[in-house]
Structure 1
Amino acid sequence: MADAAHRILDLAEHALSTSFPLRVRAWDGSEAGPSGAPVLIIRRRRALRRLLWRPGELGLARAWVAGDLDIEGDLYKALDELSGLFWERGEGQPAVGRVERVRRAGTALRDPATYRLAREALTLAGPGLPPAPPPEEIRGRRGMVHTKRRDKAAISHHYDVGNAFYEMVLGPSMVYSCAVFPESDSTLEEAQRAKLDLVCRKLQLREGQRLLDVGCGWGSMVLHAAQHYGVRATGITLSVEQAAYARKRVADAGLSDRIEIRVQDYRDVKDEPFDAISSIGMAEHVGSERYLEYARTLYALLRPGGLLLNHQIGRRPLMDEETYRIDEFIDRYVFPDGELSPIDATISWLEQAGFEARDMEALREHYARTLRAWVRNLESCWDKAVAATSPGRARVWRLYMAASAVSFERNRIGVNQVLAVRTGDDGTSDMPPTRTAWLS
């Protein structure tokens, strides 16, 4: 198996019909590709078997999570270069033709019309059946998406991986959503406090009001709102581990009489009305088929005049929305059944439910910076993170967060705060007429 790197590079460039942007180092020690570029390390031949049996992003993801592939050098630069195979530079649309070439590369190599390439690929990959997927991959999902049972399982897959792991990644704030950096030198903790306070100010929270935090995570939002704005807060989550952690934080803060943490689906909340609702990084789990139901449920839980702050990752709109598909790596390893929608669809659904959308703020650059901070946290305590979960799980989070940072930086995805109101019958609400109230 001499000079495997050159043979792999030739196959990749033939399949992609373009030059490969990374240097390649194979299991036999050979190297090929542009000098000075980040290095794609192929540690084991089975990485190629994974790609031949499952061409495209899922085969790559399995090889990465299993440790068959790695990157040496600047991970962000490597991911940016690789993403250039899938996106046209400077545009928000996928390079569909090239995406299809990548997805079909393994199939093409098995086509009799390309027998020589097929034989070369199979020789490099070695004999054997496809390797089993890494244990971190979620499998065996059946039935309709976004039922209460399936949503609970999806949330558990992502969040019930150990609170100690999330403490290492997120830091003391335990906030798992985009921070807002008020200054260029603001720390992650300062930025997360600024984000929580921004949400509270947008919601016009006041002493004695009732706040519902949908997808409350580890309790940071309800704690901030109760401590600094005097509200009575209810936080709901489907994660048992999150709820236990949040309840302890509430008890330690002496706020058990003002904050309640529940393991509860948003569709099962019945003790309305609330004065305000925050939904921060939760709506990505809802799905387009259920989004109008989600919006109508929150509308019904608010009193007339009450406010909703919906903080949500959004994708770029496609010229043909029928071509949208959920990223296989994200779906199998990170957010099962998660789905991103364009901001215009989000606002449309909220208004169809009866809300008046009053303000939208884009925070895209802030999320890129947040993700890079989380990656630094993870890398700085890598061995402990691996021990707290598994090597594969730590690799999933490193790849997911770094790739997401690049996507935000390149404006392929964004994150938006939509402030909406349930107006009274006479059109009145708690909304100030300008943004001055929360910007001052």
Structure 2
Amino acid sequence: MADAAVRLKRLLEQLLGVPLPVRIRAWDGSQAGPPGAPILVVHNRRAVRRLLFKPGELGLARAWVAGDLDIEGDLYTALDLLAGLVWERGEDARSLAQTLRDPEARAAVRGLLRLGGLPLPPAPPPEEVRRPGHLHTKRTDKRAISHHYDVGNDFYEIVLGPSMVYSCAYWPDPDSTLETAQRDKLDLVCRKLGVRPGLRLLDVGCGWGSMAVHAAREYGVSVVGITLSQEQAAYARKRVADEGLTDKVEIRVQDYRDVGDGPYDAISSIGMAEHVGADRYLEYADVLHRLLKPGGRLLNHQIARRPQRDESSYEVDEFIDAYVFPDGELQPVGSTVAQLERAGFEVRDVESIREHYALTLRRWVAHLEADWARAVTLTSIGRARVWRLYMAASALAFERNRIGVNQVLAVRTPESGDSGMPLRARKWSETQSR
């Protein structure tokens, strides 16, 4: 009799101590769990072994990327339900990883071992990155950036749409187009920085050139954009040429630590600082401070995590680190502000746009799902599954306030104390582009 789903459900509930909120369909066709709930499809016994040999988030991620696990029904609902078991069980409840290591749970573990078949650890999917640690040298940073961004410009065009902006958009309302929201975000950055003709802007982590093109075309500023990705740089240079802006915009493959032609009047860093690393953040802030003229402004747009009571216990997200952003590290916004001020900046404004990123990510997921077959052809089935999972899970993380995103505006205020900021700085909320 086909009963793998029943046995799997019973053993998992025995380990976790709570009912499973999703329905299970196992490799033998059997089903168990609440009717009408999203279905966790366990395609093979290997999925069980992955969970046993790497309990918790990474084991589940490996099973997902390899296609051993799937979800039928609403992806966001399923992830939200599973998050309560894997990531958010609270201070008084054990995580799945802790439970599977508990001596009292050995009977259930033995049952899962029998259900999973041969007790051999499956090899990780080829999309998983192996690295020596969070070194954040120029060499390791370049390799990490290449892993994430050199997936293929055609793939990113599917996900990001025509704007080719890979950071949080700024939505006038939820029903706006992604292109409108991304244009509004770039315009907001330009207004906060106060760029105008005759000024020089350094765009750190320029991506596919969207900020550089917008600032040069709409505000007449001269821009140097830097990235560590060869594919991004080639794409950005073509965009600059197509826009007729080669006299205004230069795109370089360059580490921010190697920029030597300052000072600049303004610096934008949009979605780049997450790659810097906690141990290197003061160095990052020092470099940008040195590259700015006195009175120059920095706009630092960065994802932040929630602070913990015991910061020493913070651990990097295993799935994100292994499959998405190798060596990426999130810091609380307070830590970012403190490090910028230690470097000599005067922080003038902090704006949280957390809900905007959730809207952005849901649009990206919809783009990927709508052109799934082509996305798989351009990369691999595993890579496409990585992106779908991480973007959907990230959307929920922003919606549930597990992570946030902030624009921090800082000034290299001169000794005279004249910051050059208007008395009512938030007039930038009004559209002022030419």
* TM-score strictly above 0.5: yes
Q: Distance in 2 between matches of 1:237 and 1:48?
A: 41
Amino acid at match of 1:23: R
How far the C-alpha of 1:401 sits from its partner, in A, is 0.2
1:22-33 mapped onto 2 (5 Å cutoff): 22-33=22-33
Alignment pair present for 1:124 and 2:115: yes
Q: Which secondary structure state, in structure 2, belongs to the residue aligned with residue 216 of structure 1?
A: coil
Amino acid at match of 1:101: S
Alignment pair present for 1:282 and 2:276: no
Q: Distance in 2 between matches of 1:426 and 1:410?
A: 43
How far the C-alpha of 1:106 sits from its partner, in A, is 3.4
Q: Distance in 1 between matches of 2:147 and 2:27?
A: 33
- The CA RMSD over aligned residues, in Å, is 1.4
How far the C-alpha of 1:38 sits from its partner, in A, is 0.5
Q: Distance in 2 between matches of 1:277 and 1:209?
A: 11
Alignment pair present for 1:163 and 2:153: yes
Alignment pair present for 1:410 and 2:400: yes
Q: Distance in 2 between matches of 1:66 and 1:120?
A: 23
Tell me, yes or no, if the aligned pair for 2:229 and 2:253 is still in contact at 8 Å. Answer: yes
Amino acid at match of 1:355: F
Specify which of 107, 126, 133 is matched with residue 135 of structure 1.
126
Q: Which residue in the other structure is 2:341 paired with?
A: 351
How far the C-alpha of 1:97 sits from its partner, in A, is 4.8
Q: Which residue in the other structure is 1:305 paired with?
A: 295
Kindly provide the CA deviation profile for residues 223-270 of structure 1, in whole angstroms up to 9, marking residues without a partner as x.
Answer: 000000000000000011000100111111111111010111100101
Q: Distance in 1 between matches of 2:383 and 2:240?
A: 29
Is there any run of 5+ residues in structure 2 with no aligned partner, and where?
A: none
Q: Distance in 2 between matches of 1:327 and 1:16?
A: 21
Q: Distance in 2 between matches of 1:412 and 1:283?
A: 19
Q: Which secondary structure state, in structure 1, belongs to the residue aligned with residue 265 of structure 2?
A: strand
Count of matched residue pairs = 430
Alignment pair present for 1:103 and 2:103: no
Alignment pair present for 1:153 and 2:147: no
Tell me, yes or no, if the aligned pair for 1:86 and 1:96 is still in contact at 8 Å. Answer: no
1:293-332 mapped onto 2 (5 Å cutoff): 293-332=283-322
Q: Which residue in the other structure is 2:79 paired with?
A: 79
Alignment pair present for 1:185 and 2:175: yes
Q: Which secondary structure state, in structure 2, belongs to the residue aligned with residue 85 of structure 1?
A: helix
How far the C-alpha of 1:144 sits from its partner, in A, is 5.5
Q: Which secondary structure state, in structure 1, belongs to the residue aligned with residue 41 of structure 2?
A: strand
Specify which of 354, 361, 365 is matched with residue 371 of structure 1.
361
Q: Distance in 2 between matches of 1:105 and 1:53?
A: 13
Q: Which residue in the other structure is 1:60 paired with?
A: 60
Kindly provide the CA deviation profile for residues 59-83 of structure 1, in whole angstroms up to 9, marking residues without a partner as x.
Answer: 1110000000001001001111111
Tell me, yes or no, if the aligned pair for 1:310 and 1:417 is still in contact at 8 Å. Answer: yes
Q: Which residue in the other structure is 1:91 paired with?
A: none
How far the C-alpha of 1:51 sits from its partner, in A, is 1.1
Amino acid at match of 1:28: D
Identify the range of structure 1 (429-438 vs 39-48) with the bigger mean alpha-carbon deviation: 429-438
Amino acid at match of 1:37: A
Q: Distance in 2 between matches of 1:368 and 1:417?
A: 16
Q: Distance in 2 between matches of 1:415 and 1:355?
A: 20
Q: Distance in 2 between matches of 1:115 and 1:172?
A: 53
Q: Distance in 2 between matches of 1:310 and 1:62?
A: 33
How far the C-alpha of 1:436 sits from its partner, in A, is 4.0
Kindly provide the CA deviation profile for residues 367-417 of structure 1, in whole angstroms up to 9, marking residues without a partner as x.
Answer: 000000000000000000000000000000000000000000011111000
How far the C-alpha of 1:107 sits from its partner, in A, is 3.1
Kindly provide the CA deviation profile for residues 113-135 of structure 1, in whole angstroms up to 9, marking residues without a partner as x.
Answer: 55532331111100142111111
TM-score, normalised relative to structure 2? 0.97
Q: Which secondary structure state, in structure 2, belongs to the residue aligned with residue 24 of structure 1?
A: strand
Amino acid at match of 2:26: A
After TM superposition, what 4+ stretches of structure 1 lie above 6 angstroms from structure 2? Answer: none
